[in-house]
Amino acid sequence: MKDIILKIENLKVSFQTDLGLVEAVRGVDFEIEEGEAMALVGESGCGKSVTAQSVLKLHPSPPAGIDEGHIILQGKDIVNMPEYEMKKIRGKIVSMIFQDPMTSLDPTMIIGKQIGEVLSLHKGMGKKAAFNKAKDLLSQVRIANAEKRAGQYPVEFSGGMRQRAMIGMAIAGEPKLLIADEPTTALDVTIQAQIIDLLRAIQRESNMAILMITHDLGVAASIAQKVAVMYAGKIVETAGANELFHDPRHPYTWGLMNSIPQKNQDKTRDLSIIKGKPPLLIDVPKGCSFASRCKYCMRICRKEDPVTFEISDSHKCACWLLHPEAPKAEP
């Protein structure tokens, strides 16, 4: 049995705003084992990044607040952990790669020094030793001429190089869990593939667990052993990657997959879309949150939240279509 690095139980996160309480995460459950890569998939605004950033407790409180649930990291519940303890965890036990490296890197500090700060904090290295190690890390993340690049500023790096530098900084403390929050969003397709290949190589070499936040099912398929589909602050389907892509059960998952352009599709036809909009999480509707966009919607869907049905040991789905008395629906 592998150790469970991260276990999230019934996590609920909200934000107090001038208009009212926004229920951003509404009872999320999942776990990640040592050396496992999991993808959290869903459209923008569904709560993926809020969930990920809650693991590092990066949300300012107020307005954010963890209302309920547990975040168990290497056997310790960190929900009520004080800030001075969290500083010892960030970068050492769990690290994060953010969406936009240009806004995450300090424009006034050379790259080698920024990476070196992590090594000084968590490894106790002196400035010179940390800077030399930073050069090794830049080489490890496949940045050519690392000796020169370590002495340059972020503005002198391309988008792909900045993302590689962010990865180097994230792995400097040798964390057990790496959270990658849409690390390929702003990059072209070729660089995206290189970044995914780099993350897979790092995972193999260090046995590091990865939580990949993405809206791209192609990215999820290329890196994850397990996939959780998120909608309106809840996880609606979880399965092993192979099982999910070959036997999806939730209508939202069907919609996401149908939205992917196919090689052989008729170019004169419009692309498939999921009609409608996600609900506002400041006023969550009664029943299933996907009901207003689902062509298979039944009366019970608008009245009660769906229970989670177990399709196999590794495959779970929250949808009333899986009830024995529900009409049969085909994707």
DSSP string, 21-54: EEEEEEEEEEEEETT-EEEEE--TTSSHHHHHHH
Say what percent of the chain tops pLDDT 70.
100
d(CA 252, CA 261): 17
Is residue 271 over pLDDT 90?
A: no
pLDDT tens track for 25-51 = 999 999 999 999 999 999 999 999 999
- Measured between alpha carbons, how far is residue 76 from residues 6, 66, 69, 73, 119 in Å? 9, 16, 13, 5, 24
| pLDDT value at residue 265 | 75
d(CA 181, CA 305): 28
DSSP string, 275-293: -S-PPPTTSPPSS-TTGGG
pTM: 0.93
| pLDDT value at residue 330 | 78
Domains, the chain, ordered by start = 4-93+175-263+270-322 (3.40.50.300), 101-174 (no CATH)
| pLDDT value at residue 259 | 86
| pLDDT value at residue 1 | 65
Q: Any long-range contacts for 272-280 (C-beta under 8 Å, 24+ apart)?
A: 278/43, 278/45, 278/46, 278/231, 278/232, 279/232
Segment (H or E) for 66: strand 64-73
pLDDT tens track for 169-206 = 999 999 999 999 998 877 888 888 999 999 999 999 99
Neighbour order of strands in the sheet with 94-97: 94-97, 177-181, 209-214, 37-41, 226-231, 234-240, 316-318, 308-310
CA-nearest of 30, 42, 25 to 6 is 30
CA-nearest of 168, 162, 153 to 116 is 168
CA-nearest of 204, 206, 195, 203 to 162 is 195
d(CA 124, CA 90): 15
pLDDT tens track for 220-256 = 999 999 999 999 999 999 999 999 999 999 999 999 9
d(CA 83, CA 69): 19
d(CA 304, CA 327): 17
